[in-house]
Chain A
Amino acid sequence: MAAGPFEPKIVGFLCRWCSYTGADLAGTSRIQYPPNVTPIRVMCSGRVDPTFIVKALADGADGVLVAGCHPGDCHYQEGNYKTMRRFPMLLKLLDQFGIERDRVRLEWVSASEGERFAAVVKDLTEKVRALGPLNWNGKRAAAAAAQSA
């Protein structure tokens, strides 16, 4: 990777029923938004074990987005409630690790909210950009060095 301005690397866990479809809608509607989120389609935001989020950060991501159906709309009735319950505790834990709250975000994005998905990605990308690289355990710098070699 050439040494240019910092571009945040954000991992996005998107629920297959709502948020991934919402992201698709953002694309088919030709809404412009930053390309910094790498989407990973999951069956439900409830499937996103906090271990995944922490692993993404430990392995070089600068931020993580988890997006699922609005409360009450979960395809599996209550998967998103499980995510909602885990998030405040996860953020509290990440505080203790010294990871800023603005790097990790939970959002509800329905299949019809392409505009909202684009706005969320834009806002998150700018917030993470302002915070700078996380570079946990030097993983980001190491990956950049390997790529340029």
Chain B
Amino acid sequence: MAAKPKVAFYWCASCGGCEETVVDLHEDVLKVVEAVDIALWPVALDFKLKDVQAWKPGEVAVAFINGAVRLSEQEEWVKLLREKCPLVVAFGSCAHLGGIPGLANDKTRDEIFANKYFRSPTVDNPGKTLPQEHCRVNGYELELPNFWKEVKTLDQVIEVDYYLPGCPPPTSTVAAAVGAILKGELPPKGSVLAPEKSLCESCPRKDSKPERLSISRFKRIATSIPDPEKCFLAEGYLCMGPATRSGCGERCLHGNMPCRGCFGPTPGSLDQGTKMLSTICSLGEADTDETAQAYADSLVDPLGTFYRFSLPASLLRRSRRQEPV
């Protein structure tokens, strides 16, 4: 029997939810372990940088990397993995599009540091100490990674072969992807391993969508409860379904939560946020400047809503708003 192929899992700026997906395979994880050897998995097993540096090129067949990239340390790791592995898969929304950590691109680095190290109510920092890349403690030179000015997607840092979208990717798509890799039945390089149609196509509520949607103002999920059967948009809740790729298993919809857009834009769409803006506003009832303004005013945070998972992958990538620190 030939040696089992080796795979690596790595994480950058992420929450650990993507690792959870692997754990959520439950006993099926045994089948995965039967088929492949896990060569690197920092969340569960202890590996060091030097272990990866010692790999022979091609020894580990595929690296699944989750999380967005913001630190020089993450850059070092992903570049090393790219060098060693013939296949790199961006695993989950953060690696694919920037994800929730990507929303930090709404703020400057200085604002983030000020908030974290000066203003946070649980921080007492009278000396206004900030983390330094280099400092000396008891005669030792200590080093911290550089915190970049912006959050980047994985493919803004290294070449990526495939994308597994989702926050987190559903276990079924992960299992299908691993199976396809093992069999060598892969789609063209650069593919997103999910269906090409928008979520509305597979929405369990699509029959309740009226011929013509008409919204005068947005309702908020925090202050009212949607009907569990009806199209969210028809009720006035902002649902990212029209601008989002399907394949997620409609998990949020089954939980009576409108789509938040984690699977990213449909193919051919340059920018998920402006596409959603276009859809949702064209549908409005407004026919004067005033009513159009009132419609816009009823959505509290367009940037955070339209780009909840995709800000670093958007055309503008980050906000330039400078707030006093």
Contact = CB atoms under 8 A, between A and B. Distances in A.
B270 A92 contact: no
A51 B270 CA distance: 7
A89 B299 CA distance: 9
Contacts of B202: none
Interface stretch (B92-100, B140-148, B171-179, B316-324): B316-324
Interface string B274-294: 110110111010111100110
Nearest to B302: A93
Interface residues of A, number: 29
A81 B315 CA distance: 25
B296 A92 contact: yes
B319 A96 contact: yes
Please provide the 9 A-B residue pairs with the shortest distance between their CB atoms, ordered closest to farther: A98-B320, A98-B321, A88-B296, A96-B303, A86-B281, A89-B296, A50-B274, A58-B315, A51-B274
Interface residues of B, number: 34
Given A96-B319, A98-B320, A49 B278 contact: yes
A99 interface: yes
Interface of A: 46, 49-51, 53-55, 57-58, 71, 81-82, 84-93, 95-99, 136-137
A17 B251 CA distance: 46
Interface of B: 106, 269-271, 273-275, 277-278, 280-282, 284, 286-289, 292-293, 295-297, 299, 301-303, 306, 315-317, 319-322
Contact of B317 (A51, A53, A137): A137
B310 to A, nearest CB: 13
Given A55-B271, A96-B106, A50 B315 contact: no
A81 B281 CA distance: 10
B281 A136 contact: no
B282 A82 contact: yes
A95 B315 CA distance: 15
A149 to B, nearest CB: 25
Contact of A88 (B106, B280, B292): B292
Contacts of A98: 319-322
Contacts of A88: 289, 292-293, 295-297
Contacts of A97: 303, 316, 319-321
B315 A54 contact: yes
Contact of A58 (B275, B303, B316, B321): B316
Contacts of A87: 292
Nearest to A82: B282
Contacts of B302: 89, 92-93, 96
B277 A90 contact: yes
Contact of A85 (B271, B274, B282, B317): B282
A10 to B, nearest CB: 18
Contacts, number: 95
B239 to A, nearest CB: 16
A85 B296 CA distance: 8
A106 to B, nearest CB: 9
A95 B301 CA distance: 11
Contacts of A49: 274-275, 278
Contacts of B292: 84-85, 87-89
A99 B270 contact: no
A25 B170 CA distance: 58
Contacts of A99: 316, 320
Output the residue of B271, B287, B316, B321 with the most chain A CB within 10 A: B316
A13 B302 CA distance: 24
Contact of A51 (B275, B289, B322): B275
A51 B271 CA distance: 7
Nearest to B321: A98
Nearest to B276: A50
Contacts of A93: 273-274, 277, 302-303, 306
Nearest to A137: B317
Contacts of B322: 98
* Among A54, A55, A57, residue most surrounded by chain B Cβ atoms (within 10 Å): A54
Nearest to A89: B296
Contact of B281 (A51, A89, A95): A89
A30 B282 CA distance: 37
Contacts of A136: 316, 320
